[in-house]
Amino acid sequence: MTTLRQLNYLVALSQELHFRRAAERMHVTQPTLSAQIQELERHLNAPLVERGTSRVMLTPLGREIADRARRIIAEVQDIVDLAASSQHGFDGTIRLGVPPTLGPYLLPHIVSDLHSKYPRLKLYVREGKPADLQEELHTGAFDLVISPLPIQHADFEVERLFREPLQLAVADDHPLARKGKIQRSDLVGQHVLAIERGHHLHEQVSQLCDDLDAVLLRDYEGTSLDTIRLMAGMGVGIAFLPAMYVRSEIASRRGLTVLDIGVPNLYRQIGLTWRRRSVHAPLFKEFAELIRATAEDRLPEITVIR
């Protein structure tokens, strides 16, 4: 008999294409996950996985079953949420996904307000890259995701929250640090640091470099905003950093100068998204409005979208 757990394992394997990482994602041992995938193949009497020496690939049938399994898992999670909602209203646990370029600098400002308004609500938070968060939202691993936009998925509902400026940070001894305001022409040929691929911010900064005739340092991509800050402080390159991060991690430190820049529309948009079928949609809309209100009150550098 095919079990929901086996389908979960297959979906995890389709995402990771690696038995060990898929097992870690599912919090089981690699032999357990491998044995359950083999049991699923025996039950279906069909190969689902191509096992090679260096990588794992799903067969065409395996990919089709994994795609359908995602929908089944999400539907089952909606049933669980519906039952919990009927018994407890807005009690229980909400699973929130957020990128590391955003969560640590936004959530401290809103969590206390959420707890005050919903004292019996528990918030489970996990960080990840935006594409991974959206995939796990689709499969039911998350109830809610806060992420840079755009988020384009037919099964998701999106509430735009605010625009967050990107600010230019350079080492204190960088030639640009002596300028009062930076113009586009000042950035031609400048070496620019960016976070690693997989983040919206990487794509945005890459496009910005193309537009400004600046040079993206692809060999020096940072694994975090802190890594970029440190490299910028050492003069490796200049960095476009989100305003909330600047406020949290740079404004009170020495070593970096934050500059005004005469480039229009230099910001990222942040949104809140959930599955359209979610029984918690009314709650999530309240979350969105609470985040906007808190941002207006405590984060003057951002522009709320209503």
- What pLDDT sits at residue 100? 95
pLDDT at 54: 65
Q: Is the pLDDT of residue 91 over 80?
A: no
How far is the C-alpha of 306 from the C-alpha of 303, rounded, in Å? 10
pLDDT for residue 280: 84
pLDDT at 85: 57
100: Cβ contacts below 8 Å, ≥ 6 apart:
127, 128, 224, 225
Tracing tokens 């690939």 back to the chain, one arrives at 57
Over residues 272-282, the mean pLDDT reads 88
Give mean pLDDT, residues 19-42.
91
**What is the pTM assigned to this prediction?**
0.74
Is the separation of the CB atoms in 57 and 17 below 8 Å? yes
Q: Is the dihedral of CA 77, 78, 81, 83 positive or negative?
A: negative
Average pLDDT over residues 227-254: 93
| pLDDT for position 53 | 57
pLDDT at 201: 95
The span from the CA of 216 to the CA of 235, in Å, is: 14
Instruction: Provide the pLDDT for residue 86.
Output: 52
pLDDT over 90 (residue 82): no
Q: What is the reported pLDDT for 135? A: 86
Q: How far apart are the first and last CA of the chain?
A: 49
- Interval 285-292 mean pLDDT: 94
Reply yes or no on whether the pLDDT at 224 is more than 80.
yes
Of residues 70 and 87, the one with the higher pLDDT is 70
Q: According to the model, what pLDDT value does residue 83 have?
A: 66
Query: Tell me, what's the pLDDT at 232?
Result: 96
| Between 282 and 168, residue with greater pLDDT | 168
Average of pLDDT values for 191-217? 95
Whether residue 78 has pLDDT greater than 80: no
- In percent, the amount of the chain with pLDDT more than 70 equals 95
Give 154-181 pLDDT, tens digit per residue. Answer: 889 999 999 999 999 999 999 999 987 8
How much is the pLDDT for 51?
79
The answer, yes or no, to whether residue 278 has pLDDT greater than 90, is no
Torsion of CA 8, 152, 108, 283, to 10 degrees: -80
What pLDDT shows up at residue 72?
Answer: 85
| Confidence (pLDDT) at 252 | 75
Share of the chain above pLDDT 90, in %: 63
